[in-house]
Amino acid sequence: MQVNFLSYVQLTSLALPSLTDSKGSLVVVSSLLGHVPTSFSSPYSAAKFALDGFFGSLRRELDVQDVNVAITMCILGLRDRASTAEEVRGVARAKAAPGPKAALAVIRGGATRAPGVFYPRRLHLLGLLRGWLPHPKAWFIRQELNVTAAATA
């Protein structure tokens, strides 16, 4: 929670006066796991869901006060870092996305003051599916996981 949520809140609180004066932008890098709950990631997901709630509320507060500070929420899937690959090896069946392309999507979203960025783009569909199917059946979830490996991890 300290790194994944509280550091964002503290830095935003300190930077907000300057951002307000300069009509600046905040770019928040989050994860699909903060948008769609999944198995075996409860603490991480909780921190990322907290980011979504905090910055979603802050965006509304700034809008109500007519403050011109953009908030771009970037929802990223697995990236092809060695540490990520090691953490999910044998557990998740999802393929990792190239890190440089994810970084470019984040930069582009922040530069255009987009309210949200999903990378890869198909993640947006998963977010929509959560609204339509908030409690997926276990068999559906198992399609993305090697449950035996996850239980021993």
How far apart are alpha carbons 70 and 153 in whole angstroms? 39
Helices 7-22 and 42-64: angle between axes, nearest 10 degrees = 20
Tell the residue number behind the tokens 């830095």, with chain if given.
11
Choose among 113, 27, 23: nearest CA to 62. Answer: 23
Could you report the per-residue pLDDT of 77-130, keeping only the tens digit for each?
A: 865 444 444 554 454 555 566 788 889 999 999 999 999 998 887 766 666 655
Task: Return mean pLDDT, the chain.
Answer: 79
Domain residue spans in the chain?
A: 6-149
Number of H helices, E strands in the chain: 7, 3
Residue 78: count of CB within 10 angstroms of its CB: 19
Q: Which fold has domain 6-149?
A: Rossmann fold (3.40.50)
- Other beta carbons less than 10 A from residue 77's beta carbon: 19
Instruction: Please state, for a pLDDT cut of 70, what percent of the chain lies above it.
Output: 65
d(CA 24, CA 15): 10
Across the range 135-141, mean pLDDT stands at 53
Residue numbers annotated as active site = 44
